[in-house]
Structure 1
Amino acid sequence: MRFIIMIFAAVFMVASAGAEEAKIEIKSLSEDAASPHASIDELSWLIGHWKGEGLGGKSEEFISPPVDGQMMGMFRQATADGALMFYEFYLFAEHEGSLVLQIKHFNPDFTGWEEKDDYEEFPLVALEENAVYFDGLTFALEGEDVLRSAVSLDETSRADFRYERQTP
């Protein structure tokens, strides 16, 4: 009986490893490269309310329709048991014929991580039909209702997120 349990456990571990989703690609903009031409309307597939998992907890994104060359976004990260970790407010914006992603981070008490007028900026690296690659940060749509994102945290680590579209 113990032998059968060990075989079952081994088969389950192999099946689980095979079921893990492949990681989406993260691209970087080389120093001498310019961002490709793009317009904000090409990101309309991102619009919506998305809930999922990342960083070992619960993640949520709200992305608005474009207005005047910009799309506003909000992100909320909580632990697995629902305790707030941080917020992000961000902007996809047309910039010099291309796109840029600008992000500001906030603690749960709404104190900012960056200085008042500062933000993290991610220039566009590449744009595909259902994927957008900013320098170190990717969004990719799988089917109609699954959004995945990945961000490079440093040279050796990354954070991956998987969301499902929420219907009103």
Structure 2
Amino acid sequence: MQNFKAMVLLQIIISIFLFLSQASSQGIGDKSNVPEYAWLAGNWSGNGFGGTSEESWSLPSPDGTMMGMYRHLDSMGNITFYEFLLLDETGIRLKHFRPDLIGWETKEDFVTFEMVRYNGKIIELKGLIFKRKSENEMEILLKLRKGDVVKTEVFTMKKINKLK
């Protein structure tokens, strides 16, 4: 009976040790878990839609999800709309809001951009592309459809500060 208790205790100790060593090897500080699209993290500002575009992206969570916020100001400096965004390996999901925070989409609906590919220089989604031009510059290409006409809006963005 004493040997049985000792064996069970030893198995529990080994299980805890294996769990803790695996958990620490998968921590946020482990660069091997950082998704290749993490270069987007930080605050960006640039042009687009005839005004100023500002975009902020969080660092990735342990599951690789990044949270983003966007706001557009017209040429007079008035806010025209906001966006709340989620990026992961499947793509981007976003909701639009008017300046008074009333949503464009219904409560259950959101806009999606399905992931095509990503790496340290590009995040290509169906209808939306983020191109990393340098450490502090990127270009965003957004395809817009109005009836049968497809137009590409180009945003030239500069990083205004980095997240660590």
Please state which band the TM-score falls in when normalised by the shorter chain.
0.7 to 0.9
Alignment of 1:45-84 (within 5 A): 45-67=39-61, 68-84=63-79
Is the CA contact 1:40–1:70 (under 8 Å) kept in the aligned structure 2?
Answer: no
Is the CA contact 2:44–2:161 (under 8 Å) kept in the aligned structure 1?
Answer: no
- Provide TM-score, normalisation by structure 2: 0.72
Q: CA deviation at 1:78?
A: 0.7
Alignment of 1:89-168 (within 5 A): 89-94=84-89, 99-154=90-145, 155-167=149-161
Is the CA contact 2:56–2:70 (under 8 Å) kept in the aligned structure 1?
Answer: yes
- Provide TM-score, normalisation by structure 1: 0.71
**Mapped partners of 2:114, 2:161: distance in 1:** 30
**Mapped partners of 2:34, 2:104: distance in 1:** 27
**1:167–1:100 CA distance, 2 compared to 1 (3 A):** closer
Identity of aligned residues (%): 37
Secondary structure of residue in 2 paired with 1:69 = coil
- Size of the aligned set, in residue pairs, is 126
Bigger radius of gyration: 2
Q: CA deviation at 1:81?
A: 1.5
> In proportion to residue count, which structure has more helix?
2
Letter in 2 for 1:42: E
Q: CA deviation at 1:156?
A: 2.0
Higher RCO structure (Cα 8 Å, ≥6 apart): 1
Structure 1 gaps, min length 5: 1-38
- After TM superposition, which residue ranges in structure 1, 4 or more long, deviate above 6 angstroms? none
